A and B are shown apart, each in its own frame.
Chain A
Amino acid sequence: MKQTSIKARYLVNLAAALLLFALAVVIGMTGGSTMKLKITPSLWQCSYLIIMAASLNLVLGFLGQLSLGHCGFMAVGAYAASLFSLALQRAGFYTEKSGPAFMLVLLLSFLIAGASAALLGLLVGIPALRLKGDYLAIITLGFGMIIVNLINNLPFCGQQGLSQGSASSALYATGLGFSNDEKMQYLWVAALVVILCMTVMFMFVRSKYGRCIRAIRDNEIAAAASGINVSYYKVMTFTISAFFAGITGTLYACCNASLSTTSFAFTNGSILNSVFIVVMVVVGGMGSLTGSVIAAVVLFLLNYTIKNGAWVAALPAFLQNVFTYPMLVYSIALIVVIMFRPRGIMGSREFALCDIPKWPAWISSYFASRGLEKSAKKEAANHG
């Protein structure tokens, strides 16, 4: 009976994934102008934010190590994919962004981006993961900054290489950069990448590997005393997390006509930076991949409405002033979440489609237990 229910769960999730993919294909073929100009660019942005948050969650939530340089891996992936595709484009391997040759380039770009980021993750992870807590945070923070400077100073990323006579030396054209039309046409690529990455991460987390790294998070000494090779699994998880961050680099390179290293900095004015990804993981719930997905989307929407929402103009002046400092709004949002859900929106639970029928029961039992708590408190107060 349990076996069939597991099968049912897999089937439901598979169906949902197919539906999502089909939706992306349909949008790509039939979308109108609002779809093209407003919605699909946002969906692309969401796609890499989701994978960034979920992949950082592997290290932060499941392995329990604070890494502050996650965007550094994304930068490596983005530049690797751009250089690779640009080289092929200049060699005349493809001219138009369509057809089988381009599809092959796109596929290889994803793999190369992931592999180069993973390699770097391995190199950084082996020494860095010997350190614990704050030290790892400092090292990864340093890594994120170094990688940005390194890329800025690489000769083949400079004027003669990626820029093709671009105005600023900080801006480099990519071989991928989709126009709005192409973003819509290739929306299925983003959908597919998100589905595949999330699936692989789920499979990783729900296996002996996930058990191992959660054990390491909960108690490193006990994990070692249970025969778990702590440093091996730490480096492995860090590398896998870097791999997915690298993949998001390709998605980013697809979204943007040019690359600038400031987009991958530790902090910047946008929603994409290493700190913000950490915030997404914390808000979503450490140890919940679906939580990361939800938090990435929610924070993206918050950012989007602050920047583009017409309703902001309708607010009283003092509130509008608050909204001119988006970071202030995020901090408030973060504080609110931490107050009401100290372990993040999802805690360490996962959202499952198959559980939706059980929701009414869960919700009523939640309120029942809160009611009990409250009446118990009241009684205590009365007696006191």
Chain B
Amino acid sequence: MRQIDNADVTPGSGGFAAQVADTVARVVSNDWVNAEYKLIVLDAPGLAASAEAGQFFNIECPVVGEDKPFFRRPMSTYAADPETGRVEFLYKVAGAGTRGLASLISGGTTRILGPLGVGFTLPDDVRSIVVLGRGVGLATLAPLAEMARDRGVAVTAIVSARGPEQILSVERFRAAGAKVEIVLDSDGTSAMTNVEAILRRLHAEGRADGFYTCGSNRLMLLMQKLAAELDVFGEVAMEQQMACGLGMCFCCVRNFTVEGETISKRVCWDGPVFALSEATSW
């Protein structure tokens, strides 16, 4: 979005069409969903609301007291609806930036830059998928369940959490028609051996042509191993500290294995969603 009219100083700007907007978004609500997470609903019509599953925004976080976040903070699109112009983020209140974000009240505004990055893909021959996530990773995966539903693809969501209080997004997954399996640290069901058994069973039942994961290195490694063994399509959404979010600063690099070679890629530009087979441990 061009905030200012500078037609007289930018000859040739006539044909310019932005693909990413720095939208001044208005807060509709910003409420706690559990002890650690808040859901912010923003009025952000235009390009922002066209964000697709897996794409993210770089969000300006207000300065509050001693908290002076200088960079913006990257957040996955939890929901975006071009019809209502609403964009939502589900975020964990962690440090200076997210504390600032948590301070926003309805009617307030902040800038959100996006949609950014490359989102999830659903190849045509993938008819059933498993999404496996933990913590904030579930926020990233929730819109994928809806995208799959809209394409008639069956979804099983494996939701991993420390205990029942930390379970996130289950209603979103169920509303999208997904079968939900909850695995917890508190009762031991989140152990890798159990999650592996669930994945193998789903695959044997013909419910897993695609694997998608976010939010846990160990879960990513497990899915990567099984995807290779069972020849299943897979993607992972990655995180890394960011400054620009637009592929310009090269601070968000991670290593990937592409055709046997280690290659550095920018999470904000080449991702944040990557082929599961290329990911390396983080």
Partners in one complex: no
- Residues of chain B touching chain A, judged by Cβ–Cβ distance below 8 Å, are none
